[in-house]
Amino acid sequence: MKQASVFEWDAASAPEAPSCPESLKEAGLSLSFVCDMLLKVVYMRGTMIGRDLATYLCLPFKVIRESIKFLKDEKQIEVMGGDLVGEVSYKFSLTDQGRKRAREAMEICGYVGPAPVPIDDYVEQCYRQAVTGLRCTPESLIAPFSHLVLSDDLFNAIGPAIVSGRSVFIYGPPGNGKTAVARSIGEFMNQSGGAIYVPHAFMADGNIITVYDPSLHQADDQVDDAIQDGDATVRRLLSSGAVDPRWVRIKRPVIVTGGELTLDMLDLRYNSEAKFYQAPIHFKANGGVFLIDDFGRQIVRPKELLNRWILPLEDRHDFLTVSNGKKFQVPFEQLIIFSTNLDPKDLVDDAFLRRIRHKVAIAAPTRDVYEKIFNGYSRKLGLNVCPEAVDYLYERYYSKGRSPRASDCRDLLEIVQSICRYRRQPVHLTRDLMVEASASFIAEFQ
């Protein structure tokens, strides 16, 4: 594979981290909102010291100090003791009046967790860490694609698609690596795209929408030494110039969905009991890759699914709708990949194909490519290279109408491996074993 049209993230252009707020105003939060958050936290968790309250809400203590003073003056919280370090070490508990207000606040919104950021801050940060126009150099696509055998033409088509940050349509017959290529694009973005920041939640017109999802987002391990231990956490929450802890530093997300995708999954999910929202699955891919695998196999018709994305693909923004019908404009800053083994002309019309910038065809492998894949899997599985086994496959199947598939190499060789182990004989590839394995795997489809 030639080292052409490959790219490396320029660390100098990494997105700026959100700075820690110095006041309620800078945090974009009202006094009453933070008071309710404090009451709900203590109501749910019991007596807490000031430092732990700040840590739980992901806000510096100096930002919540005003709200704590207000609640003390209103006799809704009381000090139950503490060290001589100051208010940060005081133990706070709810009074009867505080418990009553906490229950009322829970009925309005049951969200208890890190304080949300304003939607405007989220939008601004999304555009700082967009996937479009990443500055790259011709080396780093080699590593995430090193496990694949690709033709030069295919490899050189992938690079510009990544750099554009727009949309990619990967198509071709099954079993030839479409999903593997799409996932390798995601691997490149994940490993070489630089860390980005996502909020635990943001707030829009009084509605809380959670974003950070540990099941989909991979926290970046390269964090500052200043936040590695408990004492440092205290200093961070009391000092200036730190990163806003309401944001989580993650690797660029790679979110994969397949036949289970429905239109409902692309809308806000409302928790009717707790009265807050969870961001839709594609929204959580902002700043990274959203892969729709097996496109055309979903329950919803392809045209309906694609119509949902016409505006986002064109204008780079989407809309979220809350329960009262109000809409909020949000960024659609992700590389979206459609992968299918169906004919694109049967799925979408020309108008939509025009909106998908890059179309990458992955055809059945030529014999030389097939042999490279076959031999690579042989070595991976601890088998010897056996040209006679490949000769047999072409004589018996591929030269008589069956299209070769890259996945056949893995499947057939794993069957050979299983046969050897079952018979308690050394794992060794021969023409006869390939005849037996292919009779089991391929013959029934002739």
For residue 66, what pLDDT is reported? 94
Cα torsion angle, 182, 184, 187, 193, sign: negative
DSSP 8-class letter at 76: S
Per-block mean pLDDT, blocks of 10 residues, the chain (446 long): 37 70 94 96 94 95 94 92 73 94 95 96 91 66 80 79 80 84 79 86 94 92 46 50 90 88 90 92 91 86 82 86 89 88 78 78 89 92 93 93 91 94 92 92 60
For 20, phi and psi rounded to 5 degrees? -70, 135
> Structure pTM?
0.82
Label residue 374 left, alpha or beta by phi (over 0 means left) and psi (-120 to 50 means alpha).
alpha
pLDDT for residue 330: 92
At 387 the pLDDT is: 94
pLDDT at residue 134, as a whole number: 67
Q: Which CATH architecture has domain 123-230+237-361?
A: 3-Layer(aba) Sandwich (3.40)
Q: Where are the beta strands (DSSP E) in 187-325?
A: 195-199, 201-204, 207-210, 247-251, 254-257, 269-271, 276-278, 289-292, 317-321
Q: How far does the chain reach from its first CA to its final CA, in angstroms?
A: 34
30-112 — its CATH code?
1.10.10.10
Between CA 219 and CA 112, with CA 47 as vertex, the angle to 5 degrees is: 40
Residue 136, phi-psi category: left (phi > 0), alpha (psi -120 to 50), beta (remainder): beta
What pLDDT does 142 receive?
78
